Amino acid sequence: MTTITTDSGLQYEEITIGEGTEATGRGQTAVVHYTGWLEDGTKFDSSVDRNDPFSFPMACGYVIKGWDEGVVGMKVGGKRKLTVPSNLGYGENGAGGVIPPNATLIFEVELLEVSE
């Protein structure tokens, strides 16, 4: 797999390239399955484990910046590995006692649906 690094520092790898509707950003709602890990391999969250897909409005600050940027360009049925630097994640505050300050996060995200 080829790792792509964006101007913001986000890195992603295409695990599976989807063939459905493309996520373009603002005005769309994305439905995904995801699993998130810290760099040391500690899993901190997974919609897959809960069997509960996560829906969010794209490009409006509802999720971390790394997700807003990392899902754009995916097509339904696709799966990406996102490596999210802390400035595109939870930054110096961390989150919920689970994600430490300044943590780089690793996500595997599968795009299940996109709607306008």
**Burial class of 65 by CB neighbour count within 10 A (0 to 12, 13 to 18, 19+):** middle
Answer yes or no: 45 catalytic.
yes
From 34, 68, 99, 106, the catalytic residue = 34
From 12, 68, 90, 106, the catalytic residue = 90
Residue 99 DSSP one-character state: B
Q: What is the C-alpha separation between 105 and 110, in angstroms, rounded?
A: 16
Answer yes or no: 99 catalytic.
no
Residue 71 backbone dihedrals phi, psi, to 5 degrees: -90, -25
Answer yes or no: 40 catalytic.
no
The H-or-E segment that residue 66 falls in is helix 65-71
The CA radius of gyration of the chain, in Å to the nearest whole number, is 13
Answer yes or no: 56 catalytic.
no
From 64, 68, 99, 106, the catalytic residue = 64
From 12, 99, 106, 107, the catalytic residue = 107
From 45, 68, 99, 106, the catalytic residue = 45
Please list the active-site residues.
Answer: 34, 44-45, 64, 90, 107
